[in-house]
Structure 1
Amino acid sequence: MRRVHRWIYIVVGAYTFFTILLWRAENGGHIYAPKEPTDHVKSLQEIEAKPAIQKVTIVTSKSPKTQTQGARGDKCPGLDPPTNVLRDSWQSANGNRVYVYSAYFEPSRNHVVVIGARDKLSGPALWCQLWGEDGRLQVTRTAHRDMPEGKGKRYTCAFYTCPVPAGLHPTAVSLMTSECGKPTSSVFVHGAEGDNGNFTVYSINKNVQKVLEYYKDKGVEVVPWNLPMNVDTWPKKNIQVEIHYFGQLGALNDCLYRNRYKSPYVVFQDLDEFIIPRKVSNWNEMFQTLPKNKGSYMFRNTFFRKDWPDTDQNFTEKLDAQKYKMITILKQSRESKIFPRKHRSKYIVVPKNIDALGIHSVNRFRAGGEQFVEPDVALMHHYRDWENPTDKQPRSNDNRIMAYKEKLVNNVKNTWEKLKGVPLGPLPFS
């Protein structure tokens, strides 16, 4: 079993590296790092570490002036709007059977999509109580669709869809077992305004928290992913894990809907993965060479081995690269194998064209379809430690990253100079 490492430079390096590659579209480039554990076992698997951001936004709803059925036009007269509308926080909708996290209004489809998780034996369908800005209430039946890759666990992430009547602009939604039940809490409904770049966080160490706080000041939103059920731990504990891999599909699809109306493209990759153009210098130039009107662009994976020796190539920035443990520059030997399409692949999507995401490919398109990007156009560098440095895996030398070395090292160096007193790590979990 691989050791757990918490390399803070991954966050700094990933963010600054994206600033080199990121296109600047009219609406602004967009970075989102959904926080599934890096390297598929390590980054966030220590349950004992406290979540980086425990802040929960509570939006106070004002009760409407009139609570009569005729004035409100709903079927539950006298039912007051909820006063504790939670934003981006897991909460119970049906005991411990159904939990909800976030909600998104899609005017073009006249519905609200709720991101949640449900016990596979969760029972009958739920009701949506949709609350408008003026306190108006509409009650509709939900439809739910499970996200794949439940892996036999008790809970699976799911979409709940609530039809929205014409003329209603919902600001909060409650999922209820009865039409007119009194909601104890509700979920804030995100409109079509979008958000800034996001990091979704389950648990991190204190030095990484300091780095994220630095990026928060630059406009990055840190989204807490405080799952209410038993999750994976490292080291492993004698508990029954109740949801697969931190509910990663819920986090990915929350990212999709959160950024649908903000960014023309959204990048989905782990923090130890980097989509590197092979013929041009950045993503913007790369997209000029790719077919238009697609829904997703899929990039094939190859492993750069952290357990193999550093490059013996000498270059001006090498001492700084070593000081800041910049594996993206120091590790230039990769496995010769490039994985097939949809096997460990990651993707960049046009969010308005996507309905639902999977881990390594798109599950449901609204338009556009899939574009497979050939490895000679771009390749996904995946930096991983197999802890087997003498294995016989065929190797290839790949120094494409050297095209970025000067800017990358300078960006990381400049960032660290602003992080006074923050240890580089790795640190033990506290």
Structure 2
Amino acid sequence: GKMSCLTAFLPHTVHHVCTLSIPTPRGPPKACPYHISEQTITPLNNTKHFQVSAYMDQRVKGLDIRIISIFRRDSIQPLHCVFCLVIYNTSCGPDLDRLLQSYSQEGFVEMVPWPINEYLTPSTGWLFSKYGGDVHYFGQLTTLNECIYRSMTRSRYVLLNDIDEIIMPYQHNNLMSLMNVLQQQKPNAGVFLIENHIFPKTPFEKSKKLPLPQWKGVPGFNILEHIYREEVDRSVYHPHKMIVQPRAVEQTSVHEVLKMFGEKFKVPPEVCRIIHCPLRTPVQRPVERLHVDTRLWDFKDKLLPNVTKALRRAGLLSSEG
């Protein structure tokens, strides 16, 4: 269905008015009681936002319901047009759990419980001959397809990539600007293949400006330090990840869509590529054979304070922070 949104910004809140289309019913509507809520402001679960009301409004053709809501402006993450990150959570440590819960309350992360190990023995790696198990890699194929269908009516695009990968535009300031151009160039495409580029964990840039003092002791590694990119070997199969229009996909695998409506398009790497920072790489190449790629640094002025704010909110900063 169609959705249009009108947004008015106030100092601390965003007042949101959305209009939704409803499919034409196949028969006469069933009679049902007429309910009016006694609450004029309804908190939305696990967020800091509120719904006010919803009204039938057929003044605009194809749009039937007008939803009025309030979004706290200080709880809307400016993350370059990515609306919601869906994480299928089998298990995680207490530090990561606190951080994810904090993001969930902001409305940026949707946590989907995925207790696959209570029902099957999942493989813990992608190679079945090595890891075995009843189901491949924690049920990865199932979660990818479930995410597409979960997003079918609410999202224009879905990014299918791993947690250590960033789909990065190189000629546009954000993903929506990129997709607007690609969609104009390829109007029949519903699947956009993005080439994978590995940024190994070592070597890394030892700049004193990047690891902020208050980040000391935070688990993980700083992706901004990893600016050396491996050359792609196109003589062998090279994987892609995807940006898809969910309505164009019937069934997907990890690197390719299996059944779809419309066309697919391989995006040139100079336009957009994946910044992939794996924990380990099979071969360590000398720095002379790597390319310096500092594209992530273009976002560091916004990224550093936002990450610091998120870490502080989750209680993960050291005493120096």
Same fold, TM-score > 0.5, yes or no: yes
Structure 2 counterpart of 1:229, one-letter code: L
Aligned residue in 1 for 2:146: 254
Aligned to 1:222: 111
* Partner secondary structure for residue 280 of structure 2: coil
Deviation at residue 385 of structure 1 after TM alignment: 3.3
Amino acid at match of 2:121: N
Distance 1:326 1:319, change over 3 A: farther
Shift in alpha-carbon separation, 1:419–1:409, aligned structure 2, 3 A: same
- Tell me: higher relative CO, structure 1 or 2? Use CA pairs within 8 A at least 6 residues apart: 1
Q: CA deviation at 1:293?
A: 3.4
Moved more, 259-268 or 224-233: 224-233
Q: How does 1:197-216 map to 2 (within 5 A)?
A: 199-216=87-104
Decide whether aligned partners of structure 1 residues 395 and 20 sit closer, same or farther in structure 2, where only a CA change above 3 A counts. farther
Alignment TM-score, normalising by the size of structure 2: 0.63
Distance across 1 between alignment mates of 2:238 and 2:188: 24
Q: Is the 8 A contact 2:99 2:311 kept in 1?
A: no
Q: Which amino acid aligns with 1:225?
A: W
Residues 421 and 414 (structure 1), Cα distance of their counterparts in 2 relative to 1, 3 Å cut: closer
Query: Is the Cα–Cα contact under 8 Å of residues 124 and 138 in structure 2 kept in the other structure?
Result: no
Q: How does 1:6-405 map to 2 (within 5 A)?
A: 22-23=80-81, 30-33=83-86, 199-219=87-107, 220-227=109-116, 228-233=119-124, 241-290=133-182, 291-312=186-207, 327-337=222-232, 343-366=238-261, 368-386=262-280, 391-392=285-286, 394-405=289-300
Deviation at 1:207, TM superposition (A): 1.5
Taking only aligned residues, the RMSD between alpha carbons, in angstroms, comes to: 3.3
Change (3 A) 1:203 1:324: closer
Answer whether contact 2:164 2:277 (CA < 8 A) is retained. yes
Q: 1:360-400 CA distances to partner (integer Å, 9 max, x unpaired)?
A: 1211102x210111011011000023367854583111111
Q: Tell me the distance in 2 between the aligned counterparts of 1:308 and 1:417.
A: 29
Q: How many residues align?
A: 232
Q: CA deviation at 1:319?
A: 7.9
Q: Deviations over 1:42-91 (max 9, x none)?
A: xxxxxxxxxxxxxxxxxxxxxxxxxxxxxxxxxxxxxxxxxxxxxxxxxx
8 Å CA contact 1:300, 1:338 repeated in 2 = no
2: CA distance, partners of 1:327 / 1:232: 28
1:300 is paired with a residue whose SS is strand
Q: In the TM superposition, what is the alpha-carbon distance from 1:340 to its structure 2 partner?
A: 8.0
Aligned partner of residue 267 in structure 1, secondary structure: strand
Q: Normalising by structure 1, what TM-score? A: 0.48
Whole-Å Cα distance in 1 between the matches of residues 205 and 309 of structure 2? Answer: 23
1:102 aligned residue: none
1:79 maps to: none
CA contact (8 A) 1:201 1:222 kept: yes
CA distance in 1, matches of 2:236, 2:258: 14
Q: Return the offset for 1:328.
A: 2.0
Which residue matches 2:11? none
**SS of corresponding position for 1:295:** strand
CA–CA distance in 2 between the matches of 1:349 and 1:299?
A: 11
Deviation at 1:407, TM superposition (A): 0.6
Q: 1:390 to 1:260 in 2, by over 3 A?
A: closer
Unaligned runs of 5+ in 2: 1-75
Which of the two has greater helix per residue?
2
Contact 2:216 2:317 in 1 (8 A): no
